[in-house]
Amino acid sequence: MEENTRDWQKIKDLILDITGKEASVEAILFLIGQREFGGLKRNFTKEEKVTLMDIALKRIMSITGYYKKVGIDKKGFPVWEKIKDFQEMNPFDQELLIRNHIIEYFKQEGLIQ
């Protein structure tokens, strides 16, 4: 658990260095979504931000088989199939699960060691 705390802090420090802002889980998901979609656009609509966060959530949860990427839609967005459900967890456990998956994503992508 202590290692995850250190890794989470590394991610928050990295985001702070890049953006100059403290990063919430939602902000980190947005940045992952932006990275995964390849969009470097600066001004996103609220709907686009939600879509990017959804892309990120499904991408990170695919690491342990909660989702599986099955294609790309006509707008270029990834299409995911839900394999396992994690929505029935209490909010604390959900956030912990998401944070752990964010940490694993950053490690797999070589963004933290």
Residue 79, strand partner residues: 71
- In which band, very low, low, confident or very high, does the pLDDT at 6 lie, cut at 50, 70 and 90? very high
Q: Is the pLDDT reported for residue 1 higher than 70?
A: no
Beta carbons within 8 Å of 104's beta carbon, 6+ residues apart = 60, 63, 64
Q: Which SS3 state, helix, strand or coil, does residue 80 take?
A: strand
Position 40 scores a pLDDT of 63
Q: What is the mean pLDDT of residues 47-52?
A: 90
Position 87 scores a pLDDT of 72
Average pLDDT score over the chain: 90
Q: Give 21-40 as a 3 state SS string.
A: CCCCHHHHHHHHHHHHHCCC
Position 36 scores a pLDDT of 87
Q: Of 11-15, 42-46, 56-60, 101-105, which gets the smallest average pLDDT?
A: 42-46
Q: What is the pTM of this model?
A: 0.90
Give the pair of three-digit tokens for residue 98. 């998401």
Position 82 scores a pLDDT of 93
DSSP state letters, 39-75 = ---S---HHHHHHHHHHHHHHHHGGGTSEEEEEE-TT
| Rounded Cα distance, 13 and 79, in Å | 31
Query: pLDDT tens for residues 51-75?
Result: 899 999 999 999 999 999 999 988 7
